[in-house]
């Protein structure tokens, strides 16, 4: 009888996907879309961003940020402070923020106004941070309840 050999990386990836699926059960697509609309409402109303075009992309970035926060919550479980964990994930959060900002610029109305671009960046930064924090809190709660 032959057994299947799995590499350590395959096993880790399988565990990560399983964890992500469990964490995503705590998240509602409707809730994300509502938060997108409320978060970017001024830009939608002013016509800088088109809601129908941008909404789905923002959902993807929210989920990515949420999963990243949930993943990093394991460090808090092992004793690190929230601030230290946040600092540890800063690079990935910055990458997601810049990707979201670029996405919004490419799908929004082109503008040369630095004030508008700065507003879009600051909103993107707070949007990503909000979903990272929400994922972090859910991950921390799941670990405390031993629901890994």
* Three-state SS letters, 56-103: HHHHHHHHHHHHHHHHHHHHHHCCCCHHHHHHHCHHHHHHHHHHHHHH
Q: Where are the domains of the chain?
A: 10-144
Residue 47 in tokens: 């016509």
* Interatomic CA distance for residues 142 and 9, integer angstroms: 24
| Range 53-92 burial, b when 16+ CB lie within 10 A, else e | ebbebbeebbbbbbbbbbbbbebbeeebeeeebbeebeeb
Residue 147's pLDDT is what? 65
Residue 124's pLDDT is what? 95
Reading the chain (148 residues) residue by residue, the pLDDT tens digits are: 556 666 888 888 888 888 888 898 989 999 999 999 999 888 888 777 778 778 888 999 999 999 999 999 999 888 889 999 999 999 999 999 999 999 998 887 656 677 778 888 999 999 999 999 999 999 998 888 876 6
**pTM, entire model:** 0.86
Residue 53's pLDDT is what? 78
Answer whether 105's CB lies under 8 Å from 63's CB.
no
């Amino acid at each position: 009888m032959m057994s299947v050999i799995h590499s350590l990386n395959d096993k880790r990836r399988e565990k990560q996907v399983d964890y992500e699926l469990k964490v995503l059960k705590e998240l509602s697509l409707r809730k994300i879309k509502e938060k997108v609309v409320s978060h970017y409402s001024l830009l939608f109303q002013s016509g800088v961003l088109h809601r129908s075009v941008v909404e789905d992309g923002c959902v993807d970035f929210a989920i990515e940020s949420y999963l990243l926060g949930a993943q990093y919550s394991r460090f808090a479980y092992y004793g690190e402070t929230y601030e230290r964990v946040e600092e540890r994930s800063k690079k990935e959060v910055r990458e997601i923020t810049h990707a979201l900002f670029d996405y919004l610029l490419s799908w929004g109305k082109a503008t040369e106004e630095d004030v508008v671009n700065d507003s879009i960046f600051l909103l993107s930064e707070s949007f990503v941070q909000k979903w990272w924090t929400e994922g972090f809190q859910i991950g921390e709660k799941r670990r405390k309840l031993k629901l890994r």
